[in-house]
């Protein structure tokens, strides 16, 4: 299998686009507003902007694009860690064989059910299953685990979308994974720079760079048409990683006709046993992270951008304006820690420790609508179908009402105190729905929710 990340080309592009003129940057910014995306060369020009005033122009444009495509919605989810027992050695990771200095944990069905109950009780509807790489985390185990999550009920609540972040598998296993009814399969390349990759992944199956690079291809071949990619920022030069993410996107578009559903932008955080995690080889400042997110928003406007609780609340509150479309909230990164309040070290430090309700409340005071929507994959709006609707802007006619319906359901079941405070926000959002029929139906469905109906969507 060929390495489709041409490092030389990326370095050349970054070198050739250094110190861009204001005029050149303006031309690219204007092009991005057509919402057709940018080439890696154009993205490189923006990544090479260092002047504050020019950066602010890029941030304002990202904000404008985010508002046009995603409105004021923000999708919420939580990770569910199944295991911290790992056969890899990744120098930056707290679960690494050589770094882990706490007990190993692998959740059984009861453990998974307990964790799921605890997450449902907070109001979550979307989970991201995460596991370290371990022979015990095979497809038989995963099928059971996902079934347990979907079968678990607590009060009125249940989990309606399970996304997955686990080690690559063979096509046959990916097919079985697809049949469990997952949403997105996501996997981060960590670093696209091969030499750095080899230095960081010293042993275990993960040390195979190419195998990891092609994992999303295998998932796509197995019919999982929503895949997520990402890089762990701090391991290598962030400009290189952003361009590589764009080349990865182009590769998936070329081969499967659809790019990644999401891009994640995790930044290295301190982790038990890892000195690299506390001293990133290529530190990424807050301004750099803002630039990464803004440039991605301009370059791939219809790809979701995911931000985790690795970042602190203050910074997250800035980044949600720049193009992030999904955030995790109330997260724990140690298996079993939602249901037991035992303190122990997770995979890495969490900087935003607010509960889901605190995050939701904060979002609404900023005019954002928290969305727990899980409708797209349940109605077949995935992969190319999703992009076909998203690109002409048609997806909005589903997303906005679905965000309101799931938020209303959350308020009724988990946060009645906030319901009073957000009445005006919800009714002004209903008024904003352009199509009169959809507007009327949304109001009708909201009334049905208050009469006890649940899980209503378009």
Q: How far is the CB of 298 from ligand SAM (least distance, A)?
A: 24
- 208, exposed or middle or buried, with CB in 10 Å at 0-12, 13-18, 19+? middle
3-state SS assignment for residue 54 = helix
Q: How far is the CB of 7 from ligand SAM (least distance, A)?
A: 20
Q: How far apart are CA 76 and CA 435, in angstroms?
A: 26
Size of the site for ligand SAM (CB under 6 A): 22
By C-beta, is 284 or 426 nearer to ligand SAM? 284
Q: Which of 115, 225, 226, 269 is close enough to bind ligand SAM by CB under 6 A?
A: 269
Does residue 188 touch ligand SAM according to CB under 6 A? yes
Q: Which of 93, 299, 300, 404 is close enough to bind ligand SAM by CB under 6 A?
A: 93
Q: Which of 61, 97, 148, 165 is close enough to bind ligand SAM by CB under 6 A?
A: 165
Q: Do residues 159 and 147 touch, judged by C-beta distance below 8 A?
A: no
By C-beta, is 59 or 338 nearer to ligand SAM? 338
Does residue 232 touch ligand SAM according to CB under 6 A? yes
By C-beta, is 232 or 284 nearer to ligand SAM? 232
3-state SS assignment for residue 354 = coil
Helix (H) or strand (E) holding 110: helix 109-122
Q: Which of 58, 159, 167, 218 is close enough to bind ligand SAM by CB under 6 A?
A: 167
Q: How far apart are CA 458 and CA 441, in angstroms?
A: 9
Q: Which of 271, 369, 404, 446 is close enough to bind ligand SAM by CB under 6 A?
A: 271
Binding mask 202-231 for ligand SAM (x = CB under 6 A): ----x-------------------------
Closest residue by Cα to residue 425 from 370, 352, 350, 383:
370
Q: Which of 119, 159, 187, 293 is close enough to bind ligand SAM by CB under 6 A?
A: 187
Q: How far apart are CA 171 and CA 315, in angstroms?
A: 39
The DSSP annotation for 309-349 comes to: TTS-HHHHHHHTTTT--EEE-S---STTTTTS------SS-
Contacts to ligand SAM by CB under 6 A: 92-93, 130-133, 165-167, 187-188, 190, 206, 232, 266, 268-269, 271, 277, 310, 347-348
């Amino acid at each position: 299998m060929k390495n489709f990340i041409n490092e030389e080309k990326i370095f050349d592009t970054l070198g050739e686009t250094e110190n861009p003129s204001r005029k050149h940057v303006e031309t690219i910014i204007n092009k991005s507003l057509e919402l057709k995306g940018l080439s890696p060369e154009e993205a490189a020009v923006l990544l090479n902007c260092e002047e504050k005033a020019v950066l602010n122009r890029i941030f304002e444009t990202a904000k404008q694009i985010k508002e046009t495509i995603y409105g004021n919605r923000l999708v919420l989810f939580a990770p569910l860690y199944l295991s911290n027992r790992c056969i890899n050695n990744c120098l930056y990771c707290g679960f690494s064989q050589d770094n882990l200095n706490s007990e190993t944990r692998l959740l059984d069905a009861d453990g998974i059910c307990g964790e799921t109950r605890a997450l449902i009780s907070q109001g979550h509807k979307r989970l991201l299953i995460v596991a370290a790489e371990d022979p015990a985390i095979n497809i038989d185990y995963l099928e059971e685990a996902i079934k347990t999550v979907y079968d678990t009920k607590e009060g009125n609540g249940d989990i309606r979308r399970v996304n997955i972040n686990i080690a690559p598998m063979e096509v046959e296993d990916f097919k079985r994974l697809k049949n469990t009814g997952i949403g997105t399969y996501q996997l981060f390349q960590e670093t696209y720079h091969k030499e750095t990759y080899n230095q960081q992944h010293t042993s275990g199956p993960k040390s195979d760079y190419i195998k990891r690079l092609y994992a999303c291809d295998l998932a796509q071949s197995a019919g999982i048409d929503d895949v997520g990619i990402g890089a762990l920022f701090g391991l290598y030069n962030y400009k290189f990683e952003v361009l590589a993410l764009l080349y990865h996107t182009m590769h998936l578009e070329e081969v499967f006709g659809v790019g990644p559903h999401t891009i994640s932008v995790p930044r290295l955080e301190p982790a038990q046993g890892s000195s690299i995690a506390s001293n990133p080889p290529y530190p990424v400042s807050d301004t750099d992270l803002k630039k990464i997110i803004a440039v991605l928003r301009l370059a791939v406007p219809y790809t979701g951008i995911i931000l985790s609780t690795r970042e602190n609340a203050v910074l997250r509150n800035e980044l949600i304006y720049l193009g992030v479309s999904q955030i995790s909230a109330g997260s724990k990164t140690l298996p079993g820690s939602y249901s037991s309040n035992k303190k122990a070290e997770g995979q890495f430090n969490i900087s935003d420790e607010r509960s889901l309700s605190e995050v939701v409340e904060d979002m609404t005071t900023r005019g954002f609508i928290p969305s727990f929507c899980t409708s797209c994959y349940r109605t077949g709006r995935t992969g190319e179908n999703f992009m076909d609707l998203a690109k002409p802007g048609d997806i909005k006619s589903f997303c906005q009402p679905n965000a309101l319906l799931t938020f209303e359901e959350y308020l009724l079941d988990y946060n009645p105190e906030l319901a009073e405070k957000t009445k005006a926000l919800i009714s002004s959002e209903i008024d904003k729905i352009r199509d009169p029929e959809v507007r009327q139906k949304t109001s009708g469905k909201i009334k049905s929710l208050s009469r006890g109906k649940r899980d209503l969507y378009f």
